[in-house]
Amino acid sequence: MKNNSTLRTDRFSTIIPSLVCVSLILLLSRNALSWVDAAHESMTETAVSLLSRMLNDKFDKKYLAKLPVNVLEPDEDRVIGHTDVSQCASMISTLANQAERLLHKNEDWSKIMFLMAKATHYIEDLNSPVHCGWDDDTHEDFENTAIFGYWTDGDYDGFQYIKDYRLFAENTCRFSRRYQKFAYKLIEEYDQEYYKKFITPIWKHAVNDILDLWFTVLWNGLGERDYKTYGLPEPKGIRDNKKVRFEKIRDLE
């Protein structure tokens, strides 16, 4: 019969390798999604930078700092399929409306920004061709490639008021899925110049979507008078009041 010290040693010899394996699995899983963090954070930070410059001193800008962090939350706690356009559209609408209700009630800005960040994640997802219908075998290859984009302040189109959040999401997917064939080419033979041509219009569309989403939520939630007190821009036009048919892309310019 084994004594107690031998039994304890045997237990640890089994437990420790198991813990190491679990840790490695978690680490590798996280690394496999690391591009997601980089891309989501970069898009959000670009939008935050623009928003921060538009806001006047009446708004406490410390609340903006959490947006690039909280935008990652839907990947940490997956409650829907991120490639399911209908589910993403419903989630964006739900989160945006929840944020508006909190604004109506003059709730804590931290709670409001958290909801806005989560909604932002889903619209960023739909701006990626891989989230609007994709071959699973190449999904990860694309996401490990498309990790950054290009942006200049001149790429901002001005505040376009979103009429319908669900149509907003669906139209975004109609925009991005046109780039699927170019994504395949990018994976097969990476080229820096081609990458820039490919990612720039997608990135520009995504950042403009983010800003339109935020401004629409704030406009609806605060009301026109309070919205303007923060120095935020008025709508230049209305978008997503109907289904949009985008022209087919024959080649990247």
What is the domain partition of the chain in residue ranges? Answer: 1-32, 34-239
- Which amino acid appears at position 110 of this protein? S
Could you tell me the pTM of the whole model?
0.83
Round to whole Å and give the CA distance between 147 and 168. Answer: 24
Amino acid at 150: Y
b/e sequence 203-240, b meaning 16+ C-beta within 10 Å: bbbbbbbbbbbbbbbbbbbbeeeebeeeebeebeeebb
Pick the CATH number of 34-239 from 1.10.575.10, 2.30.30.100, 3.40.50.300, 3.40.605.10: 1.10.575.10
Q: Is the pLDDT of residue 185 over 90?
A: no
114-169 per-position pLDDT tens digit: 999 999 999 999 998 877 766 566 667 777 788 889 999 899 999 999 999 999 99
Q: Convert the pLDDT of each residue in 187-242 to its tens digit.
A: 888 889 999 999 999 999 999 999 999 999 999 999 999 999 999 999 999 999 99
> Measured between alpha carbons, how far is 95 from 98 in angstroms, rounded to an integer?
5
CA gap 115, 63 in Å, rounded: 12
Q: Note the pLDDT of residue 55.
A: 97
